[in-house]
Structure 1
Amino acid sequence: MGGGWIDVHHHSYHPPLIAELRRRGVTHMAPGVPLPEWTVEDSLRVMDANGVRAAILSILLPDAALGQGASSLVRQANEWSAELVRDFPGRFGALAVLPLPDVEAALAEIEYALDVLGLDGVVMSASLADGRYLGDPAFAPVFDELDRRGAVVFVHPNPAYRCDCVGGPGFAAKVPPPLVDFVMDTTRAVADLLFGGTLTRCRDIRFVLAHAGGTVPYLAWRLELAATWVLPGAGEVDVAGELRRLYYETAQAASPATLACLAEVTGRENVLFGTDFPFMRDAVVAETLRHLAEAGQIPFEDNTLALFPRLADRLASAREGAADAARL
């Protein structure tokens, strides 16, 4: 279609949400990552400066905020996101956050967020505060409902995730969790969904993986080899086929080396543009776009519009409205 980039990994932390998180004693999104000072004007500024036509907004709530009263906080967050989409229909889409691990509340929020608020899909943390991953059988009803709807599910690292299987005393101080542990959280979630059967069962969910899937592209063949040594039962899983149909976005993963690795795992139609704003600031957004422009041959905008039909309709309406106004 042409007309600019569409950012599928763009976080929004409304000032009332930040105030509520602070009231609950939450000061950081992740170790070393304080709560962002975000405004919609800040997003529009960086988008306009870099030729970004639209952005899909998402919210990750820290584990510490998801105790008692989590459902009401999630509902507020989703309503704030829907309000932004209503106010700026030609610039934003939004994903709904879910109050997992409460399955019944999550099912109710899926219905409200997608049917009443009209949001464009859901965002889910790769792991939960209790250590479970998304492929846990307890969450099957949630994925079955999302599959029935053919929903988009954006899998993002849990902001609180800190791997306890590697590193010794002082490791996290030298290598903060966002640098390495985050991408392993996504990788673990994908492996869990893959070998636990969720990907095979839920054929109509469109999974989008943050940060190009963590280390999934690099480890793809290793995962394919699981049946030959440590996981004999995995022989029935089409690992390569399942990984190929997933979507991978480019936030902090737009280097030529990463893109080359990604090209071996999936098709060009499954690669999406993402920035991780506001955690990645203006210079990184510009550098991401430079890398992607140099890569060429990936129809980023068409890929995103095909994945998010509600956003495509809003953008088309906004363009028609602008054209009508210009003719007056």
Structure 2
Amino acid sequence: MDWIDVHHHAYHGRLADALAARGVTQMAPGVPVPRWEPADTLRVMAEHDLAAVVLSVLVPDAALLLPDAADLVRRTNEWTAEVVRGNPDRFGLLATLPLPDPDAALAEVGYAFDVLGADGVVLPASLADGALLGDPGLDPLLAELDRRDAVVFVHPNPGYRCSCTGAPDFAAVVPPPLVDFVADTTRAVANLLFRGALRRFPRIRFVLAHGGGTIPFLVGRLELARTWVLPGQDGSVGEELGRLYYETAQSSTAAALACVDAVAEPGHVLFGTDFPFMTGPVVGRTRSEVTAHRPDIGGAALALFPRLRAAARR
């Protein structure tokens, strides 16, 4: 049993209560903040033969814009670290950061890695202030993550006011996870690419949620754009994007996986489920679809999270 789920959320009951006390009850329009307990995950792991999961939390923008955001993020990371300590070979920790405050985010990186023993961090594709991950204001943060050879999971921003595409009422008609989220990831990766951040910070291991949004489909288009956006620059867009990692949550159909496979380097497609937003039956279906496509995807994450090898040997 070597299946590692890299896209697994830990919305602790204590976090849900803390957010509700701040008037935040939704991750995005129509998406309530879940109440998660470790037992929920252990049950799903047993039902679907998962060796380990890597836990992450995205705090909604509505809470990150409040004065006590850094304190809330610190407590959230400590709650998740407490869960990991209880089952260290079955749970990994991706720490969240109090963005868009870059100084507080840098401080939390140090605490997460040096005190909590985090396995990486999760970053939103876009920030509450409108910045994308390649924006120059985030260079000090990316430089520190590069120095640490960090795993960075890029997840769409679940901001309460998320409406990334279309008319102002788009999110009210089409739930944000269906289109807005994949567009958010796509913009973030394109920004990292064309601002040169992928080249400046090559030691960061970026893991892209949901199969990388629409990036795998757009590789050829982005390569063509390089002729006028990045004239004279050596290398290829396909090579840069191939070095990134892509996970399978909500992207496990044969067509989606074939598209990702055409872009990603060997070993750079990882198994992910998006639990608890995706229910146990969806976890099972995702696992079945990935198994039918290529079962070695299940254990590919061990290269990024070697601490979880003990669970995979069981």
Instruction: Say whether the fold is shared (TM-score over 0.5).
Output: yes
* Structure 1 residue 194 corresponds to structure 2 residue 182: no
How much has 1:89 moved relative to structure 2? 1.3
* Structure 1 residue 223 corresponds to structure 2 residue 236: no
Cα distance, 1:100–1:170 mapped onto 2, change above 3 Å:
closer
Corresponding residue number in structure 2 for 1:159 = 158
How much has 1:236 moved relative to structure 2? 4.3
2: distance between equivalents of 1:273 and 1:141? 30
Corresponding residue number in structure 2 for 1:326 = none
Q: Name which one, 1 or 2, has greater alpha-carbon Rg.
A: 1
Runs of 4+, deviation exceeding 3 Å: 168-171, 232-237
2: distance between equivalents of 1:209 and 1:173? 26
Asked if structure 2 preserves the Cα contact closer than 8 Å seen for 1:10 and 1:58, the reply is yes
Give CA deviations for 1:203-225 in whole Å, capped at 9, x if unaligned: 11100000010000001111111
How much has 1:21 moved relative to structure 2? 0.4
2: distance between equivalents of 1:98 and 1:206? 17
Q: Which moved more, 1:218-227 or 1:272-281?
A: 218-227
Corresponding residue number in structure 2 for 1:144 = 143
Asked if structure 2 preserves the Cα contact closer than 8 Å seen for 1:120 and 1:311, the reply is no
* Structure 1 residue 292 corresponds to structure 2 residue 293: no
Cα distance, 1:228–1:174 mapped onto 2, change above 3 Å:
same
Cα distance, 1:54–1:232 mapped onto 2, change above 3 Å:
closer
User: Equivalent residue of 1:267, what SS?
Assistant: coil
Give CA deviations for 1:25-64 in whole Å, capped at 9, x if unaligned: 0010111100112111111111110001110000000000
Corresponding residue number in structure 1 for 2:80 = 81
How much has 1:68 moved relative to structure 2? 0.7
Give CA deviations for 1:170-202 in whole Å, capped at 9, x if unaligned: 433321211101000000000000111110011
Structure 1 gaps, min length 5: 320-328
* Structure 1 residue 211 corresponds to structure 2 residue 200: no
How much has 1:297 moved relative to structure 2? 5.4
2: distance between equivalents of 1:217 and 1:60? 24
User: Equivalent residue of 2:296, what SS?
Assistant: coil
Asked if structure 2 preserves the Cα contact closer than 8 Å seen for 1:63 and 1:129, the reply is yes
Cα distance, 1:232–1:141 mapped onto 2, change above 3 Å:
closer
Corresponding residue number in structure 1 for 2:27 = 29
Asked if structure 1 preserves the Cα contact closer than 8 Å seen for 2:89 and 2:307, the reply is no
Count of residue pairs brought into register by the alignment: 311
Give CA deviations for 1:238-285 in whole Å, capped at 9, x if unaligned: 311110000000000000000111111013300000000000001110
Asked if structure 1 preserves the Cα contact closer than 8 Å seen for 2:29 and 2:172, the reply is no
- Normalised by the size of structure 2, how large is the TM-score? 0.95
Map 1:162-173 → 2, pairs under 5 A: 162-164=163-165, 166=166, 168=167, 170-173=169-172
User: Equivalent residue of 1:95, what SS?
Assistant: strand
Equivalent position amino acid for 1:245 in 2: R
Asked if structure 2 preserves the Cα contact closer than 8 Å seen for 1:268 and 1:299, the reply is no
**Identical aligned residues as a percent:** 59
The structure where helix makes up a greater share of residues is 1
Corresponding residue number in structure 2 for 1:282 = 280
- Give the CA RMSD over aligned residues: 1.6
Corresponding residue number in structure 2 for 1:309 = 306
Structure 2 gaps, min length 5: none
Equivalent position amino acid for 1:148 in 2: R
